[in-house]
Amino acid sequence: MLIKVVAVQSRLGSPLTLEERIHIFKQRPDVVCLPEYYMVGPEIADYHRAAVSTPDHLKSFQRLSDELSTCLVAGTVVEGEEDRLYNACYVINRGLIIGRYRKRYPVPGELSRGITPGDRQLVLDVEGVRIGIMICGDVFYPELYDEHREAEVDLIVIPTTSAYRPADSKSQKEHRDRKYFQDGAVRSGGYVVKVCGVGTIFGKPLQGRSLVAAPWDMVAQVESSAESRKRILSVTLDIAELRDFRHKMFTQHTGRTSQAAIQPLQVRTY
């Protein structure tokens, strides 16, 4: 089974242009991925103000998913519930919301500004492909990759924003991408898609090195020289090849398959 995945490295607060939407549509993507805080533009001063527009943004994401006739991993939005705020990623398949994941490990800056940790994993079966979600700082907790391995997830999408680090060398950047994303693909046995935002958030500049990793190699990556620019990564992923590799890799080490291999996975809807 082959699937086309498109990761949209975009400037925060800047929706896709008509030209970009047409470019993506022509590729007939199965999954389109947007970055963390996709609609939080430079005019937004805090998370509370960002949450005000979330209902409208969700409607626009549904329209975009329907327009592109695809499964949209809609970056993240700031979501209010009672007196709490969450950093939430919605998954929308052809206009229908089918799942929501709330970031389980907000970074210190988020926690200090009112973002509450989520408390559960999300795994969805979308037309035969098992999709899991992590968000940015979740990657610092490798046990989350272990959870995805146990669920035999095929594709982990990770909407991300990364602070610009002018002192970093190219080798330092490559090391972090290997440690938190390539190694995550190895650990989980799934493809990993990191999709980054560029521009600024709350006045702080960002860097974006979106990438797609397989357990055996890096599939595609935005070069560090383009980390401040908009980019669209398009890749074709072989799910059958991945599952065969994962089966051989994990049964060789454990001598058995996981329970997820013999139990049907249920779609979790929202």
pLDDT the model gives residue 259 = 40
Q: Is 51 left (phi over 0), alpha (psi -120 to 50) or beta?
A: alpha
Q: Give the integer Cα–Cα distance in Å for 250 and 217.
A: 17
When pLDDT is cut at 50, 70 and 90, the band that residue 115 belongs to is: very high
Q: What is the Cα–Cα distance from 85 to 46, expressed in whole angstroms? A: 11
Using the CB atoms, write b or e for 124-146: b if 16+ within 10 Å.
bbbeebbbbbbbbbbbeeeebbe
Who contacts 30 (Cβ-Cβ below 8 Å, separation ≥6)?
3, 4, 5, 70, 71, 127, 129
Instruction: With beta carbons less than 8 A apart as the criterion, state whether 73 and 34 touch.
Output: yes
How far is the C-alpha of 98 from the C-alpha of 101, rounded, in Å?
Answer: 11
Please tell me the least confidently modeled range out of 38-47, 70-79, 90-99, 163-172. Answer: 163-172
CA pseudo-torsion sign 125, 129, 132, 135: negative
Q: Is the pLDDT of residue 269 over 80?
A: no
Q: Taken in order 46, 52, 56, 61, is the CA torsion positive or negative?
A: positive
pLDDT band at 252 (very low <50, low <70, confident <90, very high): low
Give me the pLDDT at residue 166, please: 86
| pTM of the complete model | 0.92
Question: Chain-wide mean pLDDT for the chain?
Answer: 92
Q: Is the pLDDT of residue 260 over 50?
A: no
* Interval 28-63: pLDDT, tens: 999 999 999 999 999 998 999 999 999 999 999 999
Q: Which of 139, 146, 166, 142 is nearest to 228 (CA)?
A: 166
Q: What CATH code is assigned to 2-261? A: 3.60.110.10
Contacts of 85 (CB under 8 A, 6+ apart): 47, 48, 51, 78, 79, 114, 115, 116
pLDDT at residue 256 above 50? Answer: no
The pairing of beta strand 200-201 with beta strand 162-163: unpaired
In angstroms, rounded to a whole number, what is the distance separating the alpha carbons of residues 101 and 122?
A: 6
Has residue 145 got a pLDDT over 70? Answer: yes
Going by pLDDT thresholds of 50, 70 and 90, the confidence category of residue 246 is: very high
Helix, strand or coil, per DSSP, at residue 20: helix
Is-contact 141 158, C-beta < 8 A?
no
226: tokens are 């383009």
pLDDT value at residue 268: 37
Q: Domain locations in the chain?
A: 2-261
270: pLDDT strictly greater than 60:
no
Residue range 178-206, pLDDT digits in tens: 999 999 999 999 999 999 999 999 999 99
- C-alpha distances in angstroms, 28 versus 4, 68, 195? 7, 8, 19
